[in-house]
Amino acid sequence: MNKNCLFLLLLAIGTALLSSCTVLEQASVHDFQSGFYKLKSDTARKKVYLHVSEDTISAHPVSGKVTGTKPIFEMPYSAVTVPWLHSVKFIKKSVDIDLTAILFKYRFPQKKLPAELTTDFNTALYVGWRTDYYLFKQRKDPLNHFRQEMVNRGFDFGAFVGAGSTTVGPFSTDNMVSNEYSGMIAQTGIAGFLQSKVASFGIAAGFDYLLSNDRKYWIYNKKPWLGLIVGIALN
């Protein structure tokens, strides 16, 4: 196994995930919209409907298909002089649809040949199940005003299918094809993401199917690979 390729893959994945976490921690209240959430706090754990305004978040009880008009609590978001004592977490689950690309693929050793790191063009449609966590904690500023701070962390897991290109030549066919060319592939697999509002980074695992007649010689045909995936939200 080519240890240098594996090290570069792990280094790039780690850097991307840390960058994604930084983006998530910078989320603002404007990314947090009215809707149905699961509430978790020291005193409650239930489904609620949140009404989000510029300075207040109000939680309304939900029973079946009925939403109560009287809030169970109202949480000030703007600066106040009296502390709001509770730290609360809201959880939202949704379907995530992304346009994705594999930045690079780590292909495992085949037929005594070393592992290979490839960066060929590819794109895919990804569909997954997303979970967002919104944690609110109160902070006091130097003027003794209290303000809610929100940290948003999200992740999802799903599957993708798409197309791309790959280099077909002596190395990738065990010298069965003498001329090198770019062949078209179909790709599919699964992926897990850390989410930001627009772009997301994650780890993917999948396999490729070469569409040319040389697939019977291509050593990576239907063989698993690992990669770094990036996605742009479509919904």
Place of tokens 């500023």: 141
Instruction: Specify the 3-state DSSP secondary structure of 3.
Output: helix
Q: What pLDDT does 145 receive?
A: 74
What confidence tens digit (pLDDT) does each residue in 47-104 have? 999 998 888 888 899 988 888 989 988 887 765 655 565 678 899 999 999 999 999 9
Task: Compute the distance between CA of residue 85 and CA of residue 137 in angstroms, rounded to an integer.
Answer: 9
Amino acid identity for residue 214 in this structure? D
pTM higher than the cut 0.85: no
In contact, 153 and 133? CB cutoff 8 Å: yes
Res. 26: pLDDT tops 50: no
Q: What pLDDT does 7 receive?
A: 52
What confidence tens digit (pLDDT) does each residue in 166-190 have? 999 999 999 999 999 999 999 999 9
Cα dihedral 160, 162, 164, 170 sign: positive
